[in-house]
Amino acid sequence: MNTEARANSRVVMINAALYSTVDELHAELKRLLGFPDYYGANFSAYRDCLEDVSYNLELAFKRTDEENDVAQAVQKIAGISAEVAFTKRNITVRFC
């Protein structure tokens, strides 16, 4: 995952190929997105914390042909992110 900070905004690239486990992916999401210590490292907690993001955030999901647990988790996170972005103007989602 790459992150780029701009004035009161972040761009985060999420690439499933960089992680061995779903737990590792969630730990990196927590770190890069500044989620609180109580982040539960699951999809429901991801949605809850993402809905609380107040800074401008662009999430860029790298497409993959992988078919493992991490790739499936990234796909689920991308869907959740798109749903949240639909109602929050400060979050955008793109696929590359």
The DSSP result for 49-65, as a single string, is: HHHT--SEEEEEEPP--
- The residue ranges of every structural domain in the chain are 2-95
> Rounded to whole angstroms, what are the CA distances from 42 to 5, 74, 78?
25, 12, 13
**Which pLDDT tens digit goes with each residue over 31-58?**
999 999 999 999 999 999 999 999 999 9
CATH of domain 2-95: 3.30.370.10
Q: How confident is the model at residue 92 (pLDDT cuts 50, 70, 90)?
A: very high
